[in-house]
Amino acid sequence: MLRETIVAARRVVVFTGAGISQESGLGTFRGPGGLWERFRPEDLATPEAFARDPALVGRWYAERFAAMRAAQPNAGHRAIARWEALFPSMVVVTQNIDRLHQRAGSRDVLELHGTLWLSRCARCGRQVPTDALPPADPPPPRCACGGLFRPGVVWFGEPLPAAVFARAERESAAADLFVVVGTSGSVWPAAGLVEVAARAGAAIVEVNREATPLSALATESLRGAAGEILPLLL
Ligand code: BV8
Ligand code: ZN
């Protein structure tokens, strides 16, 4: 049944969260050892937190960026990159800011929550590659205009990039196969894309170590590590 569904698919969306990067050594947010166990999102991933204590937020993102630079795509990212050539239409829609999909070779990737590989000045908006910025103590570095550089990510309370989200909604509504990998489905409006696809009649295949609120929408829910299951799917 699953095999037929996958082989027959024409328009595919692969929707990913922190779980797909876990086997690359990048911590997830929820669950044991997750980032939110040690930090409160509202203390670090909001514009208010940045205004209140830019050095604290700057240090946290500098640590996460160092880990992302050192990380390598895993078998899960690589499997998804290979699938791109197998379907007439396939797009990766990710909540991740680590660009491991692109580093594994995926070409069509929608970054719903931005990326840490880009930074922008909080005053003039100038955008630069994060690894082109000089280290600053205390972080973050300053722009020529005197403004502080902030990570190019979407913080809680900030809108998602409109064009990116609009395309993600369109692709989800047009998909006949929607693969959900390594997400707890707890952050909105991203989590709502699964329902958009389900309502449009797509087959929903979830890959996760454990059940999630999205499992109820899934046609098939596969339990285990993405890096082990995804290479076997095709
Ligand atoms: C906005 C970037 C409005 C920064 C992130 C509706 C209802 C309730 C709340 C809201 C709502 N609408 C909006 C909200 C508020 C809020 C929200 O969703 N709050 C939550 C906490 C309740 N949403 C927002 O604020 C959004 N903005 O609504 O703006 C607006 C509109 C106009 C004008 C002004 C404002 C913005 C949300 C984006 C926030 N930024 N990231 C950064 O990373 O620092 S969110 C961040 O957390 C990630 O990007 C990701 O989205 C989320 C983490 O979730 P997951 O990726 O799923 O990770 P998690 O650890 O939870 O789960 C991992 C899963 O993997 C687990 O299930 C685990 O079992 C599994 N797993 C682990 N290892 C493996 C595995 N599976 C397979 N293999 C493995 N190896
Ligand atoms: Zn500036």
Residue spans of the domains in the chain: they are 1-25+73-113+160-234, 27-70+114-153
CATH of domain 1-25+73-113+160-234: 3.40.50.1220
Q: How far apart are CA 27 and CA 39, in angstroms?
A: 13
Is residue 138 reached through a cis peptide bond, with omega within 30 degrees of 0 on the bond before it?
yes
Residue whose CA is at the smallest distance from ligand 1 atom 48: 95
- Catalytic positions: 113
Separation of CA 188 and ligand 1 centre (Å): 6
pLDDT of residue 62: 94
pLDDT of residue 231: 96
pLDDT of residue 28: 78
35 within 8 A of 28, measured Cβ to Cβ: yes
Helix (H, G, I), strand (E, B) or coil at 33: coil
Of the residues 187, 195, 205, 215, which should be mutated to test ligand 1's pocket, given the most ligand atoms within 8 Å of the CB?
187
* pLDDT exceeds 90 at position 45: yes
pLDDT of residue 145: 97
State whether the beta carbon of 152 lies less than 6 angstroms from ligand 1: no
For the chain, what is the mean pLDDT? 95
pLDDT tens digits, 47-103: 999 999 999 999 999 999 999 999 999 999 999 999 999 999 999 999 999 999 999
Separation of CA 125 and ligand 2 centre (Å): 6
Tokens at 106, concatenated: 């995926």
Q: Please count the CA atoms within 13 angstroms of the CA of 2 that sit on its side-chain side.
A: 15
Q: pLDDT grade, residue 186 (50/70/90)?
A: very high
Q: How far apart are CA 37 and CA 29, in angstroms?
A: 8
Cα–Cα nearest to 113, from 40, 191, 9, 210: 191
Q: How far apart are CA 210 and CA 232, in angstroms?
A: 18
CB neighbours of residue 188 within 10 Å: 9
> Is the Cα torsion angle 165, 101, 20, 175 positive or negative in sign?
positive
24 within 8 A of 13, measured Cβ to Cβ: no
Is residue 140 reached through a cis peptide bond, with omega within 30 degrees of 0 on the bond before it?
yes
Is residue 231 reached through a cis peptide bond, with omega within 30 degrees of 0 on the bond before it?
no
pLDDT of residue 19: 97
C-alpha angle with apex 9: 8 to 15, nearest 5 degrees?
Answer: 150
State whether the beta carbon of 43 lies less than 6 angstroms from ligand 1: no
State whether the beta carbon of 210 lies less than 6 angstroms from ligand 1: yes
* pLDDT exceeds 80 at position 33: no
State whether the beta carbon of 151 lies less than 6 angstroms from ligand 1: no
pLDDT of residue 31: 66
Separation of CA 106 and ligand 1 centre (Å): 22
| Fold annotation for 27-70+114-153 | SIR2/SIRT2 'Small Domain' (3.30.1600)
Q: How far apart are CA 99 and CA 76, in angstroms?
A: 14
Residue whose CA is at the smallest distance from ligand 1 atom 24: 156
CB neighbours of residue 127 within 10 Å: 10
Separation of CA 127 and ligand 2 centre (Å): 9
